[in-house]
Structure 1
Amino acid sequence: MTDATAQVPQLRHTLACRCRAITEARWFAVAVFALILANAAVLGVETYTGVVDQWRGALRVVEHSFLVAFTVEMLLRAGAHADRPKDFFRDPWNLFDLAVVLAAFLPLVRENSTVLRLLRLARVLRSARFLPQLRIVMVAIGRSLPGTVSFLLVGALLLYVYAMIGWVFFAAHDPQHFGSIGRAVLTLFLLMTLDGLGDSVRAGLEISRWSIVYYASYVLLASFVLVNVLVGVVINSLEEAKEMEEEQAAASPEHSTSSDVGREDIRARLAATRRALDELEAGLSSLEEARR
């Protein structure tokens, strides 16, 4: 019993090394990325009713093949962490991939065609795992959410205030755009993108020359100030995401392996230098004894 217990860590380490050799190989990443692209192509083909009616059986076999392939991929990735299982669950991408694959086996999902299609569509997002730039953008979007929420709150407040002002001054003369708070908000929301600004300004000038102040101040605050603030939040999040990606790359096993190889090379050279110095010292001692 003791020998069997002692062999378990060794077996886990062997399994992890073999699976890691596969998952860290370049061909493995290329193969998985090709599967994701093929899955996306099949999803696009299934939007054509005629093709689905003619090749329904073949498309079902292809979908099951994709599911098997992605399941094998997850088993290999989990096996690569057999000696350190906690590290597998610390990686957000592993958790996302595991959720996407496991959800396909749930009866509730498999019986609902709409949910199943959305789940298959989620597989396309896994391509970000193999594209560093896309991964940085997705991480940046996630990190910018708190700042984006603040932006939306400020934007909603600004929109409401200007909508109420527009309703007070323009509702009687322009009920189509400012007849209620809902119409006023919709009008100003479209103006935030500068869509139809010229027509709105001309219609406002027919009511009052002071309407130019209303529209100019709104466009200045909504289209320039707030949008630039949002751009600043996103750019700052992109910089943070890029720094995180560089830190993770520096701490990756490949980087650590190369560092270890460099240390071993330096140690070997130092050992060879010491041996050479010892041999030189021994030779000098022999010469001195011979002279005596």
Structure 2
Amino acid sequence: MNITTIQSNFFKIRSNKAFELFVVAVILFSALVIGAKTYDIPAHVLSIIVWLDRAITAFFFIELSIRFIGEPNKRTFFKNPWNVFDTLIVVVSVIPIQDSEMALIGRLIRIFRVLRMVSIVPELRLLLNSLIKALPQLGYVILLMFIIFYIYAAIGSSFFVEINPVLWGDISIAMLTLFRVMTFEDWTDVMYETMEIYPFSWIFYLTFIFLTTFAFLNMVIGIVVNVMENEHAEEAKEKAIADGDITIEDLSRQIAELKQLIEQRK
């Protein structure tokens, strides 16, 4: 059996849906094992959990090896950030650091093994990639939201500090109080307290809620949804090209037609 045949067989294994589902099941089981360690359990049960954890680590090592051997172009394997993340998680999990000063890091790495679900499930990977690509646009919205928070916090700490110094003592505490208002966590208690001295202070709270909760948060959702739609469209194009439903020439022609249509509208 030559190297090409071995690579082809491993590629079939890593592309098999049953194998992917089994990996997902192991990741979920790993999360349960991590959660079980947080309980006060008998020593003999804890020893079983330790052996299960080692078996899970061994499986992840084998699974990563299968993916690497089955990769047609191994030079590009580590150019994928998710492959680097999976490799880092597996390598650190394999290193015996339980009784060393690095034991805490080892436990943290094992907790992050649950995140491997993102690298295995394409839909989760698409969601996270969309969120990351939306960050530049979200940055401006968050900056504007911070400005609104800062203005309202300055107003609140100036007018309401005498009413309740705990909530409005300075601008940083006032911003935390406004975050409580934005998330509707007993915000009416805060409002009614200031309304006893300033009857029209309800305008302060309602305008802040409309600006932040209803306006800016909907803008954030809209940006993320728009980026997700673009990601779905790009994925559909790549799949169509890979399946041969559309050629590069057809795609180039469609792009040229779109450019021509845009120039005509100008």
**Same fold by TM-score, threshold 0.5 exceeded?**
yes
Letter in 2 for 1:184: A
Q: Distance in 2 between matches of 1:46 and 1:173?
A: 47
Whole-angstrom CA distance in 2 between matches of 1:14 and 1:238: 38
What are the Cα deviations for residues 209-252 of structure 1, in whole angstroms up to 9, with x where unaligned? 34233223222212211111111122122223323443454455
Q: Of the two, which has the highest radius of gyration?
A: 1
**Candidates 58, 64, 77, aligned match of 1:88:** 77
Q: Give the letter for the 2:32 counterpart.
A: A
Match of 1:20 in 2: 11
Summarize the Cα distance change of 1:78–1:153 in structure 2 as closer, same or farther, 3 Å threshold: same
Counterparts in 2 of 1:213 and 1:247: CA distance versus 1, 3 Å:
same
After superposition, the C-alpha distances for 1:131-183 in whole angstroms (9 at most, x for unaligned) are 34333222222222223333322222211111111122222233232222232
- How many angstroms apart in 2 are the aligned matches of 1:27 and 1:203? 59
TM-score (ref. length: structure 2)? 0.79
Relative to 1, partners in 2 of residues 1:101 and 1:202: Cα closer, same or farther, differing over 3 Å? Answer: same
Aligned residues: 245
Give 1:108 shift: 5.7
Is the Cα contact below 8 Å between 1:194 and 1:223 reproduced in 2? no
Quick check: 1:114 aligned with 2:104? yes
Aligned residues of 2:30 and 2:56 also touching (Cα < 8 A) = yes
Task: Please list, as runs of the form range in 1=range in 2, the aligned pairs for 1:175-190 lying within 5 A after superposition.
Answer: 175-190=165-180
Structure 1 residues 251, 107: CA separation in 2 closer, same or farther (over 3 Å shift)? farther
| Unmatched tracts of structure 2, length 5 or more | 247-266
Structure 1 stretch displaced more, 94-103 or 171-180? 171-180
Match of 1:160 among 137, 150, 161: 150
Q: Which moved more, 1:66-75 or 1:33-42?
A: 33-42
Distance 2:99 2:25 in 1: 24
CA distance in 2, matches of 1:174, 1:30: 55
Q: Which amino acid aligns with 1:234?
A: V
> Partner of 2:54: helix, strand, or coil?
helix
- Taking only the aligned residue pairs, the percentage that are identical comes to 28
Residue 163 of structure 2 aligns to a residue whose secondary structure is coil
Displacement of 1:184: 1.4
Q: Secondary structure at the match of 1:144?
A: helix
The TM-score with structure 1 as length reference comes to: 0.73
List 4+ stretches of structure 1 deviating above 6 A.
none
Deviation at residue 88 of structure 1 after TM alignment: 1.7
Structure 2 counterpart of 1:42, from 33, 52, 55: 33
Could you tell me how far apart the structure 1 residues matched to 2:99 and 2:238 are? 36
The separation in 2 between residues aligned to 1:78 and 1:218, in whole angstroms, is: 53
Residues 14, 185 of structure 1: CA spacing in aligned structure 2 closer, same or farther, 3 A cutoff?
same
CA distance in 2, matches of 1:77, 1:178: 56
Cα RMSD of the aligned pairs, angstroms, is 2.7
Q: Deviation of residue 101 (structure 1)?
A: 1.0
Give, in whole Å, the separation in 1 of the partners of 2:135 and 2:22.
Answer: 33
Q: 1:105 and 1:219 mapped to 2: Cα distance?
A: 50
